[in-house]
A and B are shown apart, each in its own frame.
Chain A
Amino acid sequence: MSWLVWRQYRAQGAIALALLAGFGAVLIVTGAQMASQWHSGLASCAASGTCAKLAQTLSLGSPLGRDFVLLSNLVPALLGFLWGAPLVAGEVEAGTRAYAWTQGISRTRWLLVKAGWLLLAAAAWGGAVTALTTWWYGPRNALYASAFQPNTFDTQGIVTVGYSVFALALGVAAGALTRRTLPAIAITIGGFIGMRLLISEVVRQHYLTAVTAFYNPLQAFAPPGPAWTLQQGVMDKYGQVFTGGNGPEVNGVPFSALPANCQKFIMIDPGTMTKTSLHAAVTCMQASGFRGFVTYQPASRWWAFQGIETGIFLALAAALIAAALVVVRRRDA
């Protein structure tokens, strides 16, 4: 059975390797360039003692390079519809299931061996892509402290392995269910993008309870390291949150929401507001119980989040393969 998988997919495997090589070449060139920019930037800032402001003065690589790396988000979906969707549906459409399923092996073994090798290949391919991007991101992570931000979190670490395996399993299940490659491809692309958005936009921030830190609204505050800031703003003593909006405001708090005794420090026309009057207003706000707050996921949780997210996608993949197995076994060929 394994030999059949090898024979059926060796050409596609070679194409996948060629794509990987091309992707790798671009990443290695642009990554090496960024690494040397980063090292010379560090050396010159150390000489002039301006390393604290390095993020403002140094820019690494080009936006084009970054967009290219974001393309690696599509790699798993590609696997899903190129390899996953036709795995069962292609054999149904070509009629070859009548050949494959009357040989001396059970359909269960046929599907498990075939899907198993492809899932392994998907994991390996996703792993290779993410190894490249993780290395590529090294200087950027150090400079911009952005590894926890949604776009960059999704393109490095180990999550890509989970995405790849999930996309392939989704393709297999969709193909087994619809028995036609084109609808299966549509379901795979739609399902993959939908699930990725759902997880990254809605679910991910709840993996572990977020930390909230309070601070004096007179001072600037940022969570330490490359943390993932979920919400930042000002809270009054009753716990009402202000995060800014339209109209005149002080630190995100609208004038109208200020206590009467603080409103007197500022004119209604913000154009005439002076630094002194603003400072007086904020001091008054602090005295009335206003606090700055920031809700965030600490940088130390980065690997835990990578692990949880990978686990979720692997579990989804396992469920999809199980569903495909039930469909292939139960339904008439």
Chain B
Amino acid sequence: MSEPHRVKVVAAPPALAIETSGLTKRYRRVTALSECSMVVPEGRICALIGPNGAGKTTLLRMLAGLAAPTAGTASVLGGTPRQDPAFLADIGFLAQEMPLYRRMSAADHIKIGAHLNSRWDGESARARLLGLDIPLGRAVGTLSGGQRAQVALALTLAKKPRVLLLDEPVAALDPLARRHFLGTLTSAVAETDGALTVVLSSHLIADIERVCDYLILLTRSQVQLAGDIEDLLAEHKVLIGPKKDTGALAATHTVVHTTTTARQSTLLVRVGGPLIDPAYEAADISLEELVLGYMGASAAPAYAGLTTVAEG
């Protein structure tokens, strides 16, 4: 589906690996994801951040074709997620619990993958696991959590996916295993030379900072913030100043979140122009402050558009 308004842009817009529009998933009474519209450009490593229950898993499962949306559309590599070998060949999906057949070995899984996938690089999976000293012949149920995660990741990468969807892959791992897992992931992404798009859900901001260059913040089953992490950090400032009316400030800038003490206010603002009020002291923002500021923002979503460059 082409979008006419993009024709006006002079520089070619980045191709989109993932695009959702009004994507909604309702279970009997619970709305797991509400009107989610977002894009992930091709070749990005995108962090999907949000508190538990924000809808991260639901979103990823719909993108992988495991669940069907109640409303809205999703497009992954230009196609609707579906139970179709041609679509599934391009998708690597890793569920949070790293499901594998516990009584089978990594070598068995590599062989299974060869039978189930038209495009399969079992050799690289084998080499990757041997490089990590993970026994290929042992039942995966007897491996440590970190080793099992590495096996699951290696198997997912062996599919040679163009979009990799990882649901909380490091949540259950200890810090060292987490570091190793993310190391494997970044080196695999580097090998593909921009052909692989990754969406990684997590609530651990430190890990994301190390690996990701794109961010989607999901809270209360809605997208609060999305964009290139560097751009987002550049566009936001922390202002510290006296406790006073912020009306004038809000005319040019978007005040995302305000914390006040007896004497001063700390404002998280999205900068919309030059900062001229000398009463405020402006400081750069860390990713953690940014994420927590948006998560804590009680106001209506400050974020409305799809890309950060479209604003201002």
**B contacts with A: majority SS:** loop
Given that A7-B108, A7-B112, A332-B61 are known contacts, is A102 also in contact with B88, CB under 8 Å in the complex? Answer: yes
Is B116 in contact with A106, judged by CB distance below 8 angstroms? no
**Docked complex Cα distance between A107 and B83 (Å):** 6
Stretch at the interface among A27-35, A56-64, A91-99, A179-187: A91-99
B119 within 8 A of A: yes
Is A104 in contact with B85, judged by CB distance below 8 angstroms? yes
> Which B residue sits closest to A95, measured CB to CB?
B99
A333 within 8 A of B: yes
Is A102 in contact with B66, judged by CB distance below 8 angstroms? yes
**Docked complex Cα distance between A103 and B117 (Å):** 6
Is B95 in contact with A95, judged by CB distance below 8 angstroms? yes
> Which B residue sits closest to A8, measured CB to CB?
B101
Given that A99-B95, A99-B99, A332-B68 are known contacts, is A3 also in contact with B111, CB under 8 Å in the complex? Answer: yes
A329 within 8 A of B: yes
**Which B residues are CB-close (under 8 A) to A1?**
115-116
Is B91 in contact with A94, judged by CB distance below 8 angstroms? no
Is A106 in contact with B104, judged by CB distance below 8 angstroms? no
**Which B residues are CB-close (under 8 A) to A107?**
83
Is B93 in contact with A102, judged by CB distance below 8 angstroms? yes
**Docked complex Cα distance between A2 and B100 (Å):** 18
**Which B residues are CB-close (under 8 A) to A52?**
none
Is A332 in contact with B117, judged by CB distance below 8 angstroms? no
**Docked complex Cα distance between A99 and B61 (Å):** 12
B67 within 8 A of A: yes
B135 within 8 A of A: no
**Whole-angstrom distance from the CB of A5 to the nearest CB of chain B?**
10
B113 within 8 A of A: yes
Which of A2, A4, A97, A103 is the one whose CB lies under 8 Å from B159? A103
**Which B residues are CB-close (under 8 A) to A94?**
99, 101-102
* Chain B, range 107-153, C-beta contacts under 8 Å to A: 108, 111-113, 115-119, 152
Which of A8, A98, A108, A332 is the one whose CB lies under 8 Å from B93? A98
**Whole-angstrom distance from the CB of B64 to the nearest CB of chain A?**
6
A101 within 8 A of B: yes
* Chain B, range 30-70, C-beta contacts under 8 Å to A: 61, 64-68
> Which B residue sits closest to A91, measured CB to CB?
B99
Give the bracket for the number of chain A residues in contact with chain B: 20 to 34
Interface size (B, Cβ < 8 Å)?
32
> Which B residue sits closest to A94, measured CB to CB?
B99
B97 within 8 A of A: yes
* Chain B, range 217-261, C-beta contacts under 8 Å to A: none
Central interface residue in A96, A101, A104, by most chain B CB within 10 Å: A104
B89 within 8 A of A: yes
**Which B residues are CB-close (under 8 A) to A95?**
95, 97, 99
**Which A residues are CB-close (under 8 A) to B84?**
106
- Produce 1/0 per residue, A118-130, CB < 8 A to B: 0000000000000
A260 within 8 A of B: no
> Which A residue sits closest to B152, measured CB to CB?
A99
A105 within 8 A of B: yes
**Which A residues are CB-close (under 8 A) to B97?**
95
Central interface residue in B61, B88, B91, by most chain A CB within 10 Å: B88
Is B159 in contact with A96, judged by CB distance below 8 angstroms? no
**Docked complex Cα distance between A97 and B118 (Å):** 19
**Docked complex Cα distance between A99 and B140 (Å):** 14
**Which B residues are CB-close (under 8 A) to A4?**
112, 115-116
- Produce 1/0 per residue, B80-94, CB < 8 A to A: 000111001101110
Is A105 in contact with B66, judged by CB distance below 8 angstroms? no
> Which A residue sits closest to B69, measured CB to CB?
A332
**Which B residues are CB-close (under 8 A) to A108?**
83
**Docked complex Cα distance between A99 and B116 (Å):** 11
**Whole-angstrom distance from the CB of A324 to the nearest CB of chain B?**
15
**Which B residues are CB-close (under 8 A) to A100?**
116
**Which B residues are CB-close (under 8 A) to A2?**
115
**Whole-angstrom distance from the CB of A101 to the nearest CB of chain B?**
6
**Docked complex Cα distance between A101 and B93 (Å):** 10
Which of A7, A96, A98, A105 is the one whose CB lies under 8 Å from B85? A105
Given that A98-B93, A108-B83, A332-B66 are known contacts, is A103 also in contact with B88, CB under 8 Å in the complex? Answer: yes
> Which A residue sits closest to B155, measured CB to CB?
A99
**Docked complex Cα distance between A100 and B100 (Å):** 9
> Which A residue sits closest to B68, measured CB to CB?
A332
Is B83 in contact with A329, judged by CB distance below 8 angstroms? yes
**Whole-angstrom distance from the CB of A3 to the nearest CB of chain B?**
5
Is B99 in contact with A104, judged by CB distance below 8 angstroms? no
Is B118 in contact with A104, judged by CB distance below 8 angstroms? yes
**Which A residues are CB-close (under 8 A) to B117?**
103-104
**Which A residues are CB-close (under 8 A) to B89?**
104
Is B61 in contact with A333, judged by CB distance below 8 angstroms? yes
**Whole-angstrom distance from the CB of A131 to the nearest CB of chain B?**
32
**Docked complex Cα distance between A3 and B89 (Å):** 19
* Chain A, range 71-111, C-beta contacts under 8 Å to B: 94-108
**Docked complex Cα distance between A106 and B61 (Å):** 16
Is B101 in contact with A102, judged by CB distance below 8 angstroms? no
**Whole-angstrom distance from the CB of A15 to the nearest CB of chain B?**
14
- Chain B residues with a Cβ under 8 A of chain A: 61, 64-68, 83-85, 88-89, 91-93, 95, 97, 99-102, 104, 108, 111-113, 115-119, 152, 159
Known: A98-B95, A105-B88, A332-B68. 8 other contacts (CB 8 A): A3-B111, A3-B115, A94-B99, A97-B99, A100-B116, A102-B93, A107-B83, A333-B61
Report the 7 A-B pairs with minimum CB-CB distance, sorted nearest first: A95-B99, A332-B67, A103-B116, A333-B66, A104-B117, A98-B95, A102-B93
Q: List 10 A-B contacts (CB under 8 A).
A: A3-B115, A98-B61, A102-B64, A102-B91, A104-B85, A104-B88, A105-B116, A106-B84, A107-B83, A333-B61
